[in-house]
Amino acid sequence: MEPPIIQVMIDQDYVRRLAEAEVKRLVQDVEPGAWWDMKRLEAETCRKRDWLIANILLNPVYQQDMKGISNGGEGGRWMFKASGMRKFLDSHFENLNSRPSKLVR
């Protein structure tokens, strides 16, 4: 008995638009003075909001750093200085990614 044949239809225009959007996102330069919101921080770190809050934003170890980089979630919306957050993430990459996260699921 022969295995069933499965056909996959791919919308090439959709794939092209998706690829273009991803390339655009990846090559965006951080302008001096530019701000990020939480959604952008999630995209930059490939981490979810809960993880970012528990492991970086409200982590006492990074409290002083965050005072100069973020608005502290004032008004219920987190905002970050893009250049400062990028420097912070680069300098703390190993520490943030080599230990178990504080967030327990």
Determine the pLDDT at residue 25.
72
pLDDT of residue 9: 92
- Domain with 65, as residue range(s), is 33-98
Residues of the chain above pLDDT 90, percent: 68
Residue 19 belongs to a domain? no
Confidence class for position 104, pLDDT limits 50, 70, 90:
very low
Residue 68 lies in a domain: yes
Q: What is the pLDDT of residue 48?
A: 96
Q: Does 25 map to a domain?
A: no
**What pLDDT score was predicted for residue 38?**
95
DSSP per-residue codes, 1-53:
-PPPP------HHHHHHHHHHHHHHHH----TT-EEEHHHHHHHHT--HHHHI
